[in-house]
Structure formats: C-alpha cells, structure tokens
Structure 1
Amino acid sequence: MEANRASFRIVLRWLPAVACMAIIFALSARTGGELDGWLPWARKLFPGLETFDPVHYVAYFALAVAFAIGFGFGRMNAWRCLLVLVLSVAYGATDEWHQSYVPGRSPDWGDLLHDGIGAAVAVAAIWLWRRARLLASSKNYSGS
C-alpha cells in the first residue's frame, strides 16, 4: 500500500513536465499561418527585436521548472540541475526536428538557443534558491 502511494506521488510530480511537453508539442504543430496571427502582437511589446519570440523563453523556463519538480525540487543539486538543462535542450532539439514536418515551419538554431536560454535561467534560479535555502537552514541549525 505504501509503495503504491509513493509511486502515485512520483507520477504526480512528473505530470507538470508531461503537460509542458504536450503544450510545447501542440504549439509547435501549428502551421506558420496560424502563428502569424499572434506573433506580431508579441513582437510589438519588444520593438526592434523582430526575431525575438518570448514564447521560447517562457516555455522552456516552465519546462525546466517542471523537470525540477519531477526530480524533487527540494533535492536539486548540481548534477540534477545539469540534467534538467540537458533534458530541456534535448526536448527543444526534438521540437525543432518536429517542426520540420509542419507546413510553413522549419527548424531554427536560434529557436533552440532561446529554448536553452530559458531553461538555463530557470536552472540558475533553482540553483540560487536551493543554495539560499541551504544557507538559511545551516544558519538556523547553528543557532545564529
């Protein structure tokens, strides 16, 4: 019975990652014409950045956080942070490959770079959060 609960908790922890990957897949399956309706609106927010697509940063930031939740957010160490970054970029690469089959879309190294930047910012934030928590708990433990 306890093993079933533990397994269920593990599945629940990974659901955000699965949901993020499904959303990214669904968005990348949209044709170029479908995207033309909202990309100009997003680019108006950032004048002068014609090639800027904030969705990549947000999506892969969220995916990296979701992977960290799957691995156990409170147990993120350097190796797990690196693994989260590698998994995020690897998923970004598969997403770019997927787009090569979508009409009006093509793989783009720049998009993969933006995916990696979004994931790296998330990993850096997770790492800093974890280090701050460890520092705070060591100060509390030492009685300071």
Structure 2
Amino acid sequence: MKQNKAVPWLCVILWMALIFYLSHQPATESAELSTGIMQIIKQAVVGVIPQLPFDESVLHFLIRKGAHFFAYMILGILVYHALTKSNIVGVKRFSFTLMICVVYAITDEVHQLFIPGRSGEVTDVLIDSAGALVGIGVCQLVRKMIRFKNAR
C-alpha cells in the first residue's frame, strides 16, 4: 500500500503545532506542568529508594530540558520520515532534516521572547538540536537494521 506523501508532513506540522502551543504557555503555566511531572517522578523514586537524597530544583531543570530534547528528537524522526517519503535521500535528507529542526528551534525560542515570563535561550536551541540529531540517528540506525535483516 502506497502512503500519501502528505500524511507524514501533516504529522510534522501537527507536532510543530504542539511545540508551539507548549511554548506559548506563560511561565506560570509551564512551571505548573513541569512541577506536576516532577512530583510524580519524585513519588515514584522515593517509593523505590526512600533514602535517596532528592534535589527538586535539579529534577525540575532536567525535566524542562529533557522535554526540549524529547520534543525535538520526535520532530527529527518525523521530518526524517517525511523527507524519506518525499524521496529525499542521503546527505540531503540528513541536512534538510537537521536544518528544518534547527530553524524551528530558533523560531521557537524567538517566539518565547514574547510570552510573559518566558525567555529565548541559546542553550535550549542547542538542546533541541541535539534531540533532533539523536532522532535522525535513530532513524538511520533503524533503516540500517531493516536493510541488514532484509539482506539476510
């Protein structure tokens, strides 16, 4: 069954819209979301290892930066897939995927400059770019594994 080229690009656009929506939240709403996630993780960790010293500020920081990394890892995977379905191959596919993700990360940080309590951070662009690179790497690894399996 041949897949429509528009479907993978629609997934990219929807994921970008989700990133935009989350970036558009004022700092107080964003902090509430990550604090809620932090409390869930804290309860789980303390339940398993009660004697573990727990620094909430470090966990909060890791959750916020981890969200950047994860969101852009998924974006990297989606863009890579969309470019694959659009018959873009090789170094072009890698380069275009990375370029699209990095440019979107930059525009996302600029967007946050206009949101109450938020700021645009170069470090977040670097974290986003690293996430996209890992997503691209995952795609390339999976493609190689599939080719290896099919060759056997």
Q: Does 1:67 align with 2:62?
A: no
State the Cα deviation string for residues 7-53 of structure 1 (Å, max 9, x = none). Answer: x9122221100001111111111111111212223445485345322
Q: Does 1:82 align with 2:95?
A: yes
Runs of 4+ in 1 over 4 A off after TM superposition: 73-76
The 1-side partners of 2:91 and 2:38 are apart by 35
Deviates more, 1:15-24 or 1:78-87: 78-87
- Match for residue 110 of structure 1 among 123, 132, 148: 123
Partner of 2:15: 20
Partner of 1:121: 134
- Match for residue 10 of structure 1 among 5, 11, 14: 5
The 2-side partners of 1:120 and 1:135 are apart by 22
Counterpart residue identity of residue 62, structure 1:
I
The two structures, once aligned, show a CA RMSD in angstroms of: 2.4
Q: Given the superposition, is the C-alpha separation of residues 43 and 85 from structure 1 closer, same or farther in structure 2, using an over 3 Å criterion?
A: farther
How many residues align? The count is 133
Query: Structure 1: 5+ residue runs without aligned partners?
Result: 1-5
The 2-side partners of 1:31 and 1:74 are apart by 36
TM-score (norm: length of structure 2)? 0.76
State the Cα deviation string for residues 29-80 of structure 1 (Å, max 9, x = none). Answer: 1111111212223445485345322211121111111112211269653331
TM-score (norm: length of structure 1)? 0.79
Query: Percent of pairs identical after alignment?
Result: 26
Query: Is 2:5–2:85's contact at 8 Å kept on the other side of the alignment?
Result: no
What displacement does 1:100 show?
A: 0.6
State the Cα deviation string for residues 86-138 of structure 1 (Å, max 9, x = none). Answer: 2111100000001111111110112112111111111111111112222333x
Query: Structure 2: 5+ residue runs without aligned partners?
Result: 43-54
